[in-house]
A and B are shown apart, each in its own frame.
Chain A
Amino acid sequence: MNIKLIMTIAKSLLLARWKQTLVAAVGVTFSITMFITLLGFMSGLNDLLDGLILNRTPHIKLFNEIKASKEQPIDLSDKFKGSYHFIHSIKPSNARQEIYNNGAILKTLKNDNRVKGIAPKIVAQVFYNVGAIDVTGVINGIDVEAENTLFFFKDYVTKGIYINLLNVPNSIILGKGVADKMLANIGDVVQVTTPKGDRIQLKVVGFFQSGLQELDKVQSYASLATTQKLLGKSNNYITDIQIKLNDITKAPAIAMEYAKTFEIDAEDIQTANSQFETGSSVRTLISYAVGITLLIVAGFGIYNILNMMIFEKMDSIAILKATGFSGKDVNAIFLIIALSIGFFGGLFGLLFGFGLSSIIDQIPFNTAALPTIKTYPINYNPKFYTVGITFSLITTYFAGLFPARKASKIDPVVIIRGK
């Protein structure tokens, strides 16, 4: 088969009816444009929402859960071995929330090459004193620098300078909600009460806004040292170790390993936040469904136009066959017509899709919940573009398949004698 000749014939037929061709191609272009934009926007939004949680959630969290001991004294007694023990009203003992021997654990983790970084943390329950009212809250004692590199702490400090937490002794960064409740401004001194009843004064150096209002109404941040002082603990007291891994998918396995090695509770991100992954995948699925629907509609358009073209070009097809073009050649001609509509329509679709995405990317999008976001989020994943052009070729191929077969089956005798 002489491909070059087939191509030139296909091209001439296409250009002879360039208006119809254009309409067909515009259909494909439109659907690919919408497909790209929709997916880019949708997955940009997904990334944003996931990031909201995932960026600031450790891949693995090591901590001591408050719970009753699995082994009660009676279990240790040889006398009652093999018996079933009915014990009522078990309470957790006054177990330490502190991570025991954390120096050694931190050292081991630092040497583990699967670990990207670690940030120790203290979670301290406090009351914020607002005049006569006490508001319950939590102060997170953090390693400011590690917290910033691993969890982008700086991005969420909307007012004030995060590093002042280290530079100013006895300082605190208040959650936006807490600050509003306490009517506190930067530079003010606020008072908190620890569960043990100690009252401590802290200087406000910034406001923190996570995007989750419930959190911001409760949480504040202070440096590790300040928090230790607040609780009256020594300088090796920490309650949590947050770990970020190089490969997030390995989190459950590694969490299990750490729990065993360090005899500690370990929670991985997949278990803690499974609902986010579900949400993301459903949203992506919807975008794909809409995009593909658009393409199929465009495919019907192409089918119609090709059918019309074959009807109009009956004579040309007949003479091509009479002069020695086989059914296969004719089939190829119409398939090439369909595929070139798909290819060029799709190509422009990718360009316009990219353009439209870029425009959406510039639209201001300010919301109190998302302090770091200034414009609508867009994901420019090349995967969408590959999928887009592939789908446009596949749809147009199938749209062309039946008309092309019909054309290849045209009997020249019927056409020529019918004149």
Chain B
Amino acid sequence: MSQIILQAKGINKSFHDPITIQILKDIDFTINKGEFVSIIGKSGCGKSTLLYILSTMDTDFEGELLIDGESTKNKKEGQLALIRNEKIGFVFQFHYLLNEFNVLRNVMLPGLKLGKYSEKEMEHRAMEKLKILGIESEALKPANQLSGGQKQRVAIARALINDPLIIMGDEPTGNLDKKNSNIVFDIFKELAHEFKQTLLIVTHDNEFAKSTDRIIEMEDGRIIKF
């Protein structure tokens, strides 16, 4: 049996403002190492909310979340930040690159924070990631001079920099045109199959979901198929 990377145990979440609405109901599932998983569902079904709980950024929920066998319960904000830094890579709908830095620096930032490698090594590693994504030639440009597709690829490189256990994506192609979406799809597929990278992508694009190993389908805060 392959190693379990992420496990959700009976996760419930409600919003209390203005009235209490339960948004996630008894979510139970696991993700194994090397799996390429997508979460689909209609908008408003709670899939993004679930992702942010799984990412440790949202701590206001009931139930338990285990990442790499470790419970996130009772962990302090600083410890959770460290988990995100070391074990989770993010790709959002929007690229969120820092315009103050060049592309290379943007990719390096989470790595420098972790501080596992020297700055020189980090630079080398960041270049390698950019090479995988085919944008090494843009490395020294300021982040705001890149096209939308390129920016999203830089964001993926940034997610990869600390060799995370899992990469989470929240509609990573949502802001891109067809052509760039396809490029990003292909990158994810390549990461999953060639580099055995665990991926968890929230999407509403069924076509994209079909090409993943496993589809978790949600409706009204419940998982209806996985």
Q: Which of A's residues lie within 8 Å of B, judged by CB? A: 2, 5, 9, 12-13, 15-16, 315-316, 318-329, 411-413, 416-417, 419
| Cross-chain contact B77 with A5 (CB below 8 angstroms) | no
| Cross-chain contact A16 with B100 (CB below 8 angstroms) | yes
- Say if the beta carbon of B99 comes within 8 Å of chain A: yes
Chain B residues with CB under 8 Å of A319's CB are 96-98
Query: Given A413-B57, A416-B92, A323–B110 Cβ distance below 8 Å?
Result: yes
| Cross-chain contact B115 with A2 (CB below 8 angstroms) | yes
Q: How far is the CA of A327 from the CA of B90 in the complex (A)?
A: 18
Chain A residues with CB under 8 Å of B82's CB are 324, 326
Which one of B58, B81, B109, B162 has the greatest number of beta carbons of chain A within 10 Å? B81
Supplied contacts A319-B97, A323-B109, 5 more A-B pairs, CB within 8 Å: A15-B100, A323-B90, A324-B81, A326-B82, A419-B92
Chain B residues with CB under 8 Å of A321's CB are 57, 81
Q: How many residues on the B side are at the interface (Cβ–Cβ under 8 A)?
A: 31
Secondary structure type dominating chain A contacts: helix
| Cross-chain contact A324 with B52 (CB below 8 angstroms) | no
Chain B residues with CB under 8 Å of A328's CB are 78
| Cross-chain contact A417 with B48 (CB below 8 angstroms) | yes
Residue in chain A with minimal CB distance to B168: A322
Query: Given A5-B113, A12-B100, A16-B100, A325–B48 Cβ distance below 8 Å?
Result: no
Q: How far is the CA of A325 from the CA of B52 in the complex (A)?
A: 16
| Cross-chain contact B96 with A413 (CB below 8 angstroms) | no
Q: Which of B's residues lie within 8 Å of A, judged by CB? A: 48, 52, 55, 57-58, 77-78, 81-82, 84-86, 90, 92-94, 96-101, 109-110, 112-115, 158, 162, 170
Q: How far is the CA of A2 from the CA of B156 in the complex (A)?
A: 24
| Cross-chain contact A419 with B48 (CB below 8 angstroms) | no
Min CB gap B124→A, angstroms: 17
Which one of A13, A319, A324, A416 has the greatest number of beta carbons of chain B within 10 Å? A324
| Cross-chain contact B99 with A16 (CB below 8 angstroms) | yes
Min CB gap A356→B, angstroms: 35
| Cross-chain contact B109 with A417 (CB below 8 angstroms) | no
| Cross-chain contact A324 with B58 (CB below 8 angstroms) | no
Min CB gap A62→B, angstroms: 73
Q: How far is the CA of A15 from the CA of B99 in the complex (A)?
A: 12
Residue in chain A with minimal CB distance to B76: A326
Residue in chain B with minimal CB distance to A322: B90
Residue in chain A with minimal CB distance to B90: A322
Q: How far is the CA of A215 from the CA of B66 in the complex (A)?
A: 92
| Cross-chain contact A318 with B96 (CB below 8 angstroms) | yes
| Cross-chain contact A316 with B113 (CB below 8 angstroms) | no
Min CB gap A44→B, angstroms: 46
Partner of B85, one of A15, A324, A411: A324
Chain A residues with CB under 8 Å of B170's CB are 416
24 pairs, CB–CB < 8 Å, chain A vs chain B? A5-B112, A12-B101, A315-B94, A316-B98, A319-B96, A319-B97, A319-B98, A322-B57, A322-B96, A323-B84, A323-B85, A323-B109, A323-B158, A324-B81, A324-B84, A324-B86, A324-B162, A327-B77, A411-B57, A412-B57, A416-B92, A416-B96, A417-B48, A419-B92
Chain A residues with CB under 8 Å of B114's CB are 324
Partner of B58, one of A9, A15, A326, A413: A413
| Cross-chain contact A315 with B96 (CB below 8 angstroms) | yes
Min CB gap A380→B, angstroms: 41
| Cross-chain contact B52 with A2 (CB below 8 angstroms) | no
Min CB gap A407→B, angstroms: 14
Residue in chain A with minimal CB distance to B88: A324
Chain B residues with CB under 8 Å of A316's CB are 96, 98, 100
Residue in chain A with minimal CB distance to B53: A413
Residue in chain B with minimal CB distance to A330: B81
Min CB gap B183→A, angstroms: 21
Q: How far is the CA of A15 from the CA of B101 in the complex (A)?
A: 11
| Cross-chain contact A417 with B113 (CB below 8 angstroms) | no
Min CB gap B108→A, angstroms: 9
Min CB gap B111→A, angstroms: 10
Q: How far is the CA of A16 from the CA of B105 in the complex (A)?
A: 15
10 tightest A-B contacts by CB?
A324-B85, A326-B81, A319-B96, A12-B100, A323-B110, A326-B78, A16-B100, A324-B84, A5-B112, A413-B52
Partner of A323, one of B52, B58, B113: B113
Q: How far is the CA of A26 from the CA of B57 in the complex (A)?
A: 39
Q: How far is the CA of A416 from the CA of B171 in the complex (A)?
A: 12
Residue in chain B with minimal CB distance to A415: B96
Query: Given A13-B100, A315-B96, A319-B98, A324–B113 Cβ distance below 8 Å?
Result: yes
| Cross-chain contact B113 with A325 (CB below 8 angstroms) | yes
Which one of A9, A315, A319, A411 has the greatest number of beta carbons of chain B within 10 Å? A319
Residue in chain B with minimal CB distance to A321: B81
Which one of A318, A411, A413 has the greatest number of beta carbons of chain B within 10 Å? A413
Chain A residues with CB under 8 Å of B84's CB are 322-324
Chain A residues with CB under 8 Å of B112's CB are 2, 5
Q: How far is the CA of A15 from the CA of B100 in the complex (A)?
A: 8
Which one of A315, A328, A329 has the greatest number of beta carbons of chain B within 10 Å? A315
Chain B residues with CB under 8 Å of A411's CB are 57
| Cross-chain contact B110 with A324 (CB below 8 angstroms) | yes
Chain B residues with CB under 8 Å of A323's CB are 84-85, 90, 109-110, 113, 158
